[in-house]
Amino acid sequence: METIKITIDNKQVEVEKGTTILSAARKMGIDIPTLCHMRLDDLNIENKPGGCRICVVEVQGRRNLSPACITKCDDGTVIRTHTPRVMNARRTVMEFILSDHPKDCLICPKSGSCELQDMANRLGIREIPGQEIAAMSTYRKDTSPSIIRDLDKCIMCRRCEMMCNDVQTVGALSAVNRGFMAAVAPAFEQNLEHSPCTYCGQCVAVCPTGALTEVDHTRDVLRAIVDPAKVVVVQTAPAVRAALGEEFGLKPGTLVTGKLVSALKELGFDYVFDTDFAADLTIMEEGTELLNRLGKFLKGDENSNIPILTSCCPGWVNFFEHNFPELKDVPSTAKSPQQMFGAIAKSYFADKIKINRKDMVVVSIMPCLAKKWEAQRPEFSVDGNPDVDFSISTRELAHFIRQANIDFVNLPDSDFDRPLGESTGAGVIFGNTGGVIEAAVRTAYELFTGKKLSRLDFTELRGMEGVRQATIDFDGFPLNIGIAHGLGNARKLLEDVKAGRSKFHAIEVMACPGGCIGGGGQPLHHGDSSILKSRARALYEEDKNKPIRVSHENPYIIQLYKEFLGEPNSEKAHHLLHTHYFDRKAKIVVKP
């Protein structure tokens, strides 16, 4: 490693050649302010268009100020980060940005977690010169089933564009037009709904302002709760318990499962259940499907549809429907845990408590924005009554809890209700990249070999690498597993499947970097990827502490099959728990 010596604010330091001024300064504890720049270390994701100019510094020998985020250090460089000239320039840049930004912070959905608001405060901006005469650029607001685009609040940092194109390879968003008209928008400035958007929500997860936010359903949920004619059932996804605490000042990675249940009960939900139960159910259905396909494959059947692809992630489902419709028979037909839960709650459980499904409202708490759209898919309803009525994000739940005057941090722990609240460690790790396939392996191994597993931790399936692979010994049969998180990584594995050169038997895909713990509905990470790692650790810890860690031993799952479904992949199970996919690729119309 070649090193060079530089001086920042009179302190000398040795850094690797090629280091930017920004990262050198951060290593020294000098916090140069940034706005458009964002870097997720463990995921190799970086946005540095050098566009906003908030991070300018003075470099000795250079006439102009230099943006720290894209300027590399030379040997002997002398840098000053807070001279009057720098501070004036920063202030001017900020004033310009704010002159074309709405001032309705009080009622903005991003208020309190807005990086622009924080920056204005940090730089001490108290007035914006020329505001009375300055023109403002205005845009049409776009509301999709999951995401709201309010581009009046866009500062053209281009983070969303980078996530959508470079990381996810979805290509729904691009910078369009120029000057005052410039915006980040879908092709032809159509609504997001008419673009290849997957609703993964990674644009929302990185937006520094209120330009991209989720559709808020908390008021609908409140209305259902206070309606005496409705029984309101709530399910919470695994990744929520590892992140919700952050919204209340707890350290990232703090598990708040028990407090979460208490809070939901205080909010007035009639039954507090766990999506992890449905995750165990997913493993029963998807695992059985894997073994069936594997059986065909081993007999040499060309239509075995191996590799099987997981289908829990709605962003991923949208992605292959848009981009690989020719492969739509390859993913597992198993519904996602959210939808399995809804289907079982409004049949099995509604029967149990002797109510009509129309009198039941199913709410889901999800780390995800694509779940909002998934809940609204027409195929997931019976006579217009959806299996899942409302899906709200971890962030929305946090707002809801605060509105209800609940002292979250000091809540006692409570247990989930039965029967749909009992889950195993396998269900818990569904929130991490690699977790679904690890859970599937635990069950598939025992069903395939008829033997008990000697170990339950498949650490070779864990980690943050974008594409991972492992071979698990199924008692002499080597099962090849592929894992991708982030849709760009998934695309690579899909191209191989399409070309017939994939060597995998099973592939797990999660749309969001890190898996659901990094979902678009989670508390904002503001560019700190260590937060995602802490959440992942928390879920593995919860798994470890569970008395039962394989899905097929969940007593309430066994009971569900005995009382209601029969066998995994039975006709009834197929009717309630499986689905089919659609070709959503944009077609070029030819005039006859």
In whole angstroms, the minimum distance from the beta carbon of 353 to other proteins comes to: 48
312 is catalytic: yes
Do residues 367 and 431 touch, judged by C-beta distance below 8 A? yes
In whole angstroms, the minimum distance from the beta carbon of 168 to other proteins comes to: 11
171 vs 463 by CB, closer to other proteins: 171
Total residues binding other proteins (CB under 8 A) = 22
379 is catalytic: yes
Kindly state whether residue 75 participates in binding other proteins, applying the rule CB under 8 A.
no
Stretch that binds other proteins, among 9-17, 94-102, 180-188, 350-358 (CB under 8 A): 180-188
Please select the residue that binds other proteins; options are 13, 70, 78, 187, rule is CB under 8 A: 187
Find, among 492, 380, 327, 329, the residue nearest to 145 by Cα.
380
460 is catalytic: no
131 vs 177 by CB, closer to other proteins: 177
Kindly state whether residue 177 participates in binding other proteins, applying the rule CB under 8 A.
yes
Which of the residues 371, 391, 534, 542 is marked catalytic?
Answer: 371
Polymer length in residues for the chain? 592
Stretch that binds other proteins, among 178-186, 338-346, 484-492, 541-549 (CB under 8 A): 178-186
212 vs 365 by CB, closer to other proteins: 212
516 is catalytic: yes
Stretch that binds other proteins, among 187-195, 231-239, 405-413, 439-447 (CB under 8 A): 187-195
Phi, psi of 213 (to 5 degrees): -140, 170
Do residues 262 and 409 touch, judged by C-beta distance below 8 A? no
Instruction: Tell me the CB-side half-sphere exposure of residue 401, using CA atoms within 13 A.
Output: 25
- How far is the C-alpha of 120 from the C-alpha of 131, rounded, in Å? 15
Kindly state whether residue 580 participates in binding other proteins, applying the rule CB under 8 A.
no
Which of the residues 95, 246, 285, 374 is marked catalytic?
Answer: 374
Do residues 136 and 181 touch, judged by C-beta distance below 8 A? no
189 vs 326 by CB, closer to other proteins: 189
Which of the residues 144, 311, 332, 529 is marked catalytic?
Answer: 332
Find, among 21, 95, 5, 2, the residue nearest to 62 by Cα.
21
3-class DSSP assignment, residue 474: strand
Find, among 84, 320, 96, the residue nearest to 198 by Cα.
320
Kindly state whether residue 499 participates in binding other proteins, applying the rule CB under 8 A.
no
Please select the residue that binds other proteins; options are 171, 258, 268, 463, rule is CB under 8 A: 171
Tokens of 126: 């108290």
Which of the residues 286, 438, 508, 542 is marked catalytic?
Answer: 286
286 is catalytic: yes
Kindly state whether residue 591 participates in binding other proteins, applying the rule CB under 8 A.
yes
Kindly state whether residue 165 participates in binding other proteins, applying the rule CB under 8 A.
yes
For residue 383, the tally of other CB atoms under 10 A from its CB is 6
Kindly state whether residue 242 participates in binding other proteins, applying the rule CB under 8 A.
no
**What's at 217, amino acid-wise?**
H
Please select the residue that binds other proteins; options are 5, 75, 143, 175, rule is CB under 8 A: 175
Kindly state whether residue 133 participates in binding other proteins, applying the rule CB under 8 A.
no
Do residues 261 and 319 touch, judged by C-beta distance below 8 A? no
3 vs 177 by CB, closer to other proteins: 177
Kindly state whether residue 486 participates in binding other proteins, applying the rule CB under 8 A.
no
**What's at 152, amino acid-wise?**
D
172 vs 291 by CB, closer to other proteins: 172
Find, among 38, 213, 249, 246, the residue nearest to 111 by Cα.
213
- How far is the C-alpha of 506 from the C-alpha of 513, rounded, in Å? 20
Kindly state whether residue 185 participates in binding other proteins, applying the rule CB under 8 A.
yes
In whole angstroms, the minimum distance from the beta carbon of 165 to other proteins comes to: 7
Tokens of 381: 């309803």
Written as one string, the DSSP assignment of 234-259 is EEE-GGGGGTGGGGGTPPTT---HHH
Cα distances (angstroms) measured from residue 98 to each of 85, 125, 355, 443: 20, 9, 54, 55
Phi, psi of 235 (to 5 degrees): -125, 145
Output DSSP code: residue 401: H
In whole angstroms, the minimum distance from the beta carbon of 541 to other proteins comes to: 40
- How far is the C-alpha of 588 from the C-alpha of 560, rounded, in Å? 47
371 is catalytic: yes
**Residues in touch with other proteins (CB under 8 A):** 165, 170-178, 185-189, 195-196, 586, 588-591
Active site residues: 286, 289, 312, 332, 371, 374, 379, 516
